[in-house]
Structure 1
């Protein structure tokens, strides 16, 4: 098999394992949903983008909402996973804060603009979408709250409020940074915001031994 044939995308008439076909369809749907939003996205366009027939698309996803939700849930899982990994990356709380901020910047800066489905969905009126979007924040907050509660000696309510502040600061500044065309290098932006957050958390609530 030639290198060209190996690298060519699989389209109509090419049989793929179910998991590979599903990944291909999700990638095509991602492009269409980000470009058009949920309401203007068409299953015809998604099938064409993936190089498959509509019946093949419907074999994997019974409708547009199910396809959208599969993508959205995967993006939420990715973001929450990044935050949890960041919090577990070091026993040093200053480094944890920096890693948590970086997790949001990396997610917003990722290929495919997945963050737009999580933070800028045009389907927030749909209960399942609203629940998934809220989970992106609440699960991230929960992961950080547990660490602040244990290491700063705060009760869960106060620790959670600090965690909400860190998540909100990270999310809003990351999106603003991207909208401003990354004029500040990402490492510098993460350092600025994590230092701001750490001066509040680390200065006011030192690690408890």
Structure 2
């Protein structure tokens, strides 16, 4: 027997899919696919308007679904925003840890991490604005998720430093935070250059700065 993936149903047993404004009807989708579609639509609206300027009506319209479908998955705009933030932070974390673990050559590691950070910032979908330019940055749930991301990234860098240099834990963590902060602040500043500084040139400059500093700590064997 072939089992089909579930689709959204209303409490009355009927699909809540209704034509969005403009008469377009969204096809029925399995729950995970629908959630991904709604997050993509929400990202478009939040990036364009910010959290406070975004409306659930517009997000539903962008996704070509009815508002009941949107609220089935995300009961509030705040929950939708936090889910989207978590998705983007997870993506960035995977990119950075993947770069960090892509080689055992520390020179290449630093270069790969800086490139990954800058390329995320430069992505056409402007997802970085959700992470670094959130107008909910003072919201405890948002700030907690941002701090978790920062700590995860910095701790991963610190572990490599501690393993290679045998520095004490707190010293390694301080260096990890410093390198993570360097990547963050410099990549954000690059955005302000409006393309007047080549992306790869910018990431290479910061890589060289970081490597010349961290390479002065001798590798212990």
TM over 0.5: yes
Partner of 1:17: 30
Partner of 2:169: 156
Aligned-residue offset at 1:13: 4.6
CA distance in 2, matches of 1:182, 1:28: 26
CA distance in 2, matches of 1:137, 1:81: 13
Give the match's secondary structure for 1:112: coil
Aligned-residue offset at 1:12: 2.0
Query: TM-score of the superposition, structure 2-length normalised?
Result: 0.86
Task: Check the 8 A contact 1:76/1:135 in 2, yes or no.
Answer: no
* Residue 73, structure 1, aligned to residue 79, structure 2: no
Q: Which has the larger radius of gyration?
A: 2
Task: Check the 8 A contact 1:44/1:54 in 2, yes or no.
Answer: yes
Partner of 1:3: none
Query: TM-score of the superposition, structure 1-length normalised?
Result: 0.90
* Residue 187, structure 1, aligned to residue 200, structure 2: yes
Partner of 1:42: 55
CA distance in 2, matches of 1:193, 1:125: 29
Partner of 1:52: 65
Moved more, 92-101 or 182-191: 182-191
Q: Unaligned 5+ residue runs, structure 1?
A: 1-10
Aligned length: 198
CA distance in 2, matches of 1:32, 1:199: 41
Task: Check the 8 A contact 1:83/1:143 in 2, yes or no.
Answer: no
Task: Check the 8 A contact 1:82/1:103 in 2, yes or no.
Answer: yes
* Residue 126, structure 1, aligned to residue 136, structure 2: no
Deviation per CA, 1:164-206: give whole Å up to 9, x if none: 1111111111111122122222222121111101111002x02
Cα RMSD, aligned residues only = 1.2
Question: Higher relative contact order by CA 8 Å / sep ≥ 6: 1 or 2?
Answer: 1
What stretches of structure 1 move > 3 A for 4+ residues in a row? none
* Residue 172, structure 1, aligned to residue 185, structure 2: yes
